[in-house]
Amino acid sequence: MQFTAAQIAMMINGTVEGNADTAVASFGKIEEARPGQLSFLANPKYEEFLYSTAASIIIINATQELKQKINATLIKVPDAYSAFATLLDKYQQIQRQQLTGIQQPVYIAATAKTGEHVFIGAFAYLGEKVIVADGAKIYPNVFLGDNVVVGENSIIHPGVKIYHDCVIGKNVTIHAGTVIGSDGFGFAPQADGTLKKVPQIGNVIIEDSVEIGANTTIDRATIGSTLIKSGAKLDNLLQIAHNVEIGNNSVIAAQSGISGSTKIGNNVMIGGQVGIVGHIKIADGTKINAQSGVSKSIKTPNSAVTGSPAFDYTAALRSQAASRNLPELEKRVIELEKQLREMMAKNNF
């Protein structure tokens, strides 16, 4: 597919500077793009390539000051990174619209329902009373258990397993290998030392416009629902335990784990390898630094914490600075003690 600079500018509300009829058919990084490709500049570290790149069209910030002549056609926008993301999304949508139909072999239960313009890949399994809404894409080797609902235009990538009764909203993307609705980790200690499994009879609800990375696990609730709210973005390799709630537009980086019944607020940012204990609350807008361990509720909105156990980010930086000065402080204390002993000896103390 080819697009002209004028067409691209219309998609991203940009202004063309140069030949509006210049056409591109693919994308390239600014430092290695070829003629016929589109690139963008958002990070000042790559500005030098703006003047040497072979890209035919470049998206740049409207505030970008040009230091020399540029051969490429420019599209100026308020935010080049955001505009480029919008363009990629539109391009991807066009590609996906072409992918429809049901490949063979698949298993689709007689009671399952599929909407219009759906795609069901080979070796997919759709259990009893499954609903796959209009425009959804179910890639090969996906398992949808009984009563699963997949909303409009959602994309379930290869090898995803969604257990019975779970609900996936509209415009959700779930990447390969993720498991939704596996049993929560619930066992009751018995008098004889054994552990009795507590049945997990709830489900998982994933609201609209959520994205979940590869090989993430989200456990079903013991009772009720594990809930991922609209706009949340979850990275690869996460463990989300039973009855957890994750708020709107919150983001969690890879290898983090959230224990059961914890409630994460809206617009929370959680770094990689963070561990959060169960049955606590994290206030809206909280930022948790990578590798932190959160052992109690964070009640103040827009807090920033770090460390294990996690505490105020600014205070943690001061503590680190003080720690780095400890060797020098030790030398000064030793010297002061020496001087004090000399003074005491001189004055016969």
138 in the same domain as 188? yes
223 in the same domain as 113? yes
**Domain span including residue 303:** 101-314
Cβ–Cβ < 8 Å for 141, 159: yes
- State the catalytic residues: 242
What's residue 51's pLDDT? 94
Find out whether the peptide bond into 327 is cis, omega within 30 degrees of 0: no
Mean pLDDT computed over 151-171: 98
| Dihedral pair phi/psi, residue 320, rounded to 5° | -65, -40
140 in the same domain as 187? yes
Q: Does residue 321 surpass a pLDDT of 80?
A: no
Q: Does residue 318 surpass a pLDDT of 80?
A: no
112 in the same domain as 80? no
296 in the same domain as 211? yes
Point out the domain boundary residue: 67, 97, 127: 97
pLDDT tens-place string over residues 215-226: 999 999 999 999
Q: Does residue 293 surpass a pLDDT of 70?
A: yes
What's residue 311's pLDDT? 67
243 in the same domain as 179? yes
Mean pLDDT computed over 223-236: 98
Point out the domain boundary residue: 44, 78, 97: 97
152 in the same domain as 138? yes
Q: Considering the chain, what percentage of its residues have pLDDT values greater than 70?
A: 99
188 in the same domain as 140? yes
Nearest to 261 by CA among 283, 239, 277: 277
H/E stretch holding 4 reads strand 3-4
pLDDT tens-place string over residues 101-136: 999 999 999 999 999 999 999 999 999 999 999 999
Helix, strand or coil for residue 76?
Answer: strand
Q: Which residue has the tokens 């169960």?
A: 278
121 in the same domain as 69? no
What's residue 349's pLDDT? 67
d(CA 157, CA 94) in angstroms, rounded, equals 17
Mean pLDDT computed over 20-31: 95
What's residue 316's pLDDT? 74
CATH number of the domain within which 88 lies:
3.40.1390.10
Cβ–Cβ < 8 Å for 279, 258: no
pLDDT tens-place string over residues 253-288: 999 999 999 999 999 999 999 999 999 999 999 999
What's residue 80's pLDDT? 96
202 in the same domain as 85? no
pTM: 0.81
Point out the domain boundary residue: 97, 121, 154: 97
d(CA 317, CA 284) in angstroms, rounded, equals 23
Higher pLDDT residue, 37 or 325? 37
How crowded is the C-beta side of 37, counted as CA atoms within 13 Å? 15
Share the mean pLDDT of the chain: 94
CATH number of the domain within which 173 lies:
2.160.10.10
Q: How many CB atoms lie within 10 A of CB 296?
A: 11
Mean pLDDT computed over 74-92: 93
Mean pLDDT computed over 23-44: 95
61 in the same domain as 9? yes
Lowest mean pLDDT among 55-69, 92-106, 156-170: 92-106
Number of structural domains (the chain) is 3
293 in the same domain as 212? yes
